[in-house]
Chain A
Amino acid sequence: MFIAISAVILVAIAIGLLRAFLGPTLYDRVLAANMSGTLTVLMVAVLGFMTGRPEFLDIALVYVLISFVSTIAVLRVCGTGCGASRDPEADSGEG
């Protein structure tokens, strides 16, 4: 059962990834990354139960914090300067 749950979460991550590739703006990618982070947290939690070692939840906790900080960092560090209008992927499609 846990397997099934994890698999579903993985599929969700895959879809999130797809959004990250498609963009089209940087914000979409960051959003996708953020969602993948949340999903990963859940997956790790589920995996911990699956392998019978729920103490792995520490890892999930770390993930929550890290993915939050890095999302904030994208926005703060690159600021508004890295706005959508400048996303090269938007006009050229792919590299």
Chain B
Amino acid sequence: MSGLLGLYNYWIVIILMMTGFYAVIARPNLIKQIIGLFIFQTSVFILFISMANIEGGTAPIIKEGIRLYSNPLPHVLILTAIVVSLATTALGLALVVRIKEAYGTINEDNIHVQDEED
């Protein structure tokens, strides 16, 4: 892998991240935003895991006869981050349910209209 070819991997991941990010900030539907957030975060995880990769390496479970392992630290970090992302998703969805009950809609534009009427 030479030159910029060694980086295209990251670029695709960045495009993925931005796809999710776009859904978060551009879509008025709350569930869609949560989905966007999920994609955004998952893509960030991919970025981390990509950086842990080592050419010719293998999973960091020590075994006789294997010399080269991938970096375990990002894996650990991402394990934690996945959990955090799940927690956020769960909480966000719970809020969405409550918002639906209180406003009768989960469209941000409609909610703003109702808020202004208050």
CB–CB under 8 A between A and B in the complex? Answer: yes
Chain B CB within 8 A of A53 CB: yes
Report the minimum CB–CB distance from A43 to chain B (whole Å).
16
Chain A residues with CB below 8 A from B61, complex form: 53, 55
Interface residues on B, range: under 10
- Can you list 9 contacts pairing A with B, beta carbon distance less than 8 Å? A51-B58, A51-B59, A52-B58, A53-B58, A53-B59, A53-B61, A53-B63, A55-B61, A56-B59
Residues of B within 8 A of A (CB): 58-59, 61, 63
Q: CA A52 – CA B65 in complex, angstroms?
A: 11
Report the minimum CB–CB distance from A44 to chain B (whole Å).
12
Report the minimum CB–CB distance from B5 to chain A (whole Å).
19
By beta carbon, the residue of chain A nearest B27 is: A95
Q: CA A56 – CA B59 in complex, angstroms?
A: 9
Chain A residues with CB below 8 A from B59, complex form: 51, 53, 56
Q: CA A56 – CA B58 in complex, angstroms?
A: 11
Q: CA A52 – CA B67 in complex, angstroms?
A: 13
Q: CA A55 – CA B58 in complex, angstroms?
A: 12
> Which 6 pairs across A and B sit closest by C-beta, in order of nearness?
A51-B58, A53-B59, A53-B58, A52-B58, A56-B59, A53-B61
Chain A residues with CB below 8 A from B63, complex form: 53
Chain B residues with CB below 8 A from A56, complex form: 59
Chain B residues with CB below 8 A from A55, complex form: 61
Report the minimum CB–CB distance from B93 to chain A (whole Å).
13
Q: CA A56 – CA B61 in complex, angstroms?
A: 11
Q: Chain A 20-55, CB within 8 Å of chain B: the 1/0 string?
A: 000000000000000000000000000000011101
Q: CA A14 – CA B59 in complex, angstroms?
A: 26
Report the minimum CB–CB distance from A86 to chain B (whole Å).
16
